[in-house]
Chains A and B, each alone.
Chain A
Amino acid sequence: MNNGNGRRLNGETEEDDDDEGSEGDLDAWERTYADERSWESLQEDESGLLRPMDNKTLYHAQYRRRIRSLSSQATTSRIQKGLIRYLYIVVDLSRAAAEMDYRPSRMAVVAKHVEAFIREFFDQNPLSQLGLVTIKDGIAHCLTDLGGSPESHVKALMGKLECSGESSLQNALDLVHGYLNQVPSYGHREVLILYSALSTCDPGDILETIQKCKKSKMRCSVIGLSAEIFICKHLCQETGGSYSVAMDESHFKELILEHAPPPPAIAEFAIANLIKMGFPQRAAESSIAICSCHKEAKVGGGYTCPRCKARVCELPTECRICGLTLISSPHLARSYHHLFPIVPFDEVSSSVLSDPHNRLPRSCFGCQQSLPNPGNKPSLRVACPKCKQHFCLDCDIYIHESLHNCPGCESFRHLKSPIATEE
């Protein structure tokens, strides 16, 4: 399968037609058919009538494949994830970023999705830090230092959206390498390069730079916006990152958001360590104090560093005075679901469904939606392997993507107790 894994709904059932390449010289009326392939979204039902295809089951099948591959990865390489990440996003603002093949321009599309990515990143990795670097006129600039506040990054990026000149991969890598070398050894060093150009204009030997990055255990990933480039692929292979090329805007969004959850960690990349952290208490609503981050007097709602008693406005952060990392317990809890993932649900086999002796639950355990008995069609229900409760497909997706709890396992004590003792 190519990069666009299942982007065309029926890619797996039918070989791509060979007139694909000649799409450019089709007439407009032909193109609507060639692009949409409307005949493929029809299917025949039992009585031979044409019906619109059930997109929901297809979508669900795709999702299940993804979750299965994720869980198989997790079991083979033990569940260790780089939860404390230091990520630099390199945005290519060379001349190529002004191209209009993405609407309105590559640059605008990149900026829009980087903003969404930054928010998602901090939602999923509350203990991590992120910085922004831009490439312009063959020189790499640091837009923001590593930091934990999404707003400041987004603001800085939106203020600097203009492009010119060549792109330089080596300059960007050198700059980021310099910064990432200073981060503590327990952190996972990552670079995500959003590359618009098709060339790189470097002052020296880029292969040396790549080796340098490899040595300091930086995981470099690239998302290209135009075409595959050898040097980017080489960089990703050497440093253990992932390389992908976006086909259109929605694909780009998908690719960039794949970098939001913590990647499986390679044990020797980061040294396990105990990090000293403080859990500050929220001050009373009416108290007045000068905060150390903005240096302004503020009424209420601050946090007090337990070591030096300085006031900070928001968590997580690093105390400006004594350098202690300050967090609250929900920040830690936000990451726990990466460590204790729930098992994928099993599809209920048709033999169980057709067995008349088996009394099946008539509704989804989670949302109470009635579960139809579908006859010979693929089943519309899944079951948790632990608690054996049945769920509808929508709940299945919600449970695995957002909730990270199985309602069935959570609502029966006798199932919970053995798990609780294991942990």
Chain B
Amino acid sequence: MNTPTPYSFASLATGIHAWLRQAISNDTLLQVTEMVITGVCLLVFLVLLCFFLGYMERKVAAFMEIRLGPNRVGPKGSLQIVADTLKLLFKEGLTPNGADKFLFNLAPGIMVVTSMMAVAPIAFAKNFQIWDINIGVLYVSAISSMAVIGILMAGWSSNNKYSLIGAMRSGAQIVSYELSIGLSLITIVILSGSLQLSEIVESQANGWWIFKGHIPVIIAFVIFIIASTAEINRAPFDLTEAEQELTGGFHTEYAGMKFAMFLLSEYINLFIVSAIAATIFLGGWMPFHIGSLPAFNHVMDYIPSFMWFFGKTFFIVFIIMWFRWTFPRLRIDQLLNLEWKYLLPISMVNILIVTAMAIFGWHF
């Protein structure tokens, strides 16, 4: 562990930890208190993040469609999402009569919980990570594939044909695209030799993997972006919702706060996918370093690490939004074609190349 630099999140966290240690002598109690504080901070952060992502999405969509987007509530419409959330809060949380009431009310919760669990191992800044688990990559891919349970649950319990079709499509989609995501993550695991996210970030101190690993890693990166767009059910892979065909898919029957929770989990998923892509391929909080230019590297070090992390994350968020507002939706057979006939074979060959690269040291 490096000594935390002043005015960083790491020093803030250490400071709070030291202060709590003085105040609370019982070790278990201390841990529980810290967990609660972390949980509350994370919840607040994620909700605010979702407000921002919602606003960003609407503005990006508008500008790409030559529109203005929200511009009435607050300066430049920045409070639009807050207003929408308030509206959803006041709406009736309706449960249809024919629905399986228990599962129907459980599904949004499962969606949000699985999304939030995947945030845990993400390194937000230098030495600032909630849970530095040694199998971080595995953990994230395992947790994120659990989202399909929430979707299937919502679709099944709604007792609605549209919901069920949407949920079934989502099942096929997530199960298929999980493979490509895993394989593209494995390329970096091979190169960095670790599943731990903090170590993967450390391994990029002399250059991000997307530069160090050149062509095979770029291919893996592109596959990861495509497959993760499908994984989080965003256009052009939003067959689960498919407004025009399925009137909203699995969340057709949901209203009010339960619907808002689906929206929340969608945006958290978007953030997680982008954060993972930024961490694995673009170096997470690691500043942009060029091997033999110490002066340049030093200047880059002055930009705080959380700025690097969020800059890269939002760059990828923007790319995924760019996809959404450019490409038309795929048909279900086209979707499965893309995965099984193109992405999967390519990533398999790619893994072979990357393995050879790692053994013979062909990367920088």
- Check if A and B associate: no
| Contacts from A to B (Cβ < 8 Å) | none
| Contacts from B to A (Cβ < 8 Å) | none
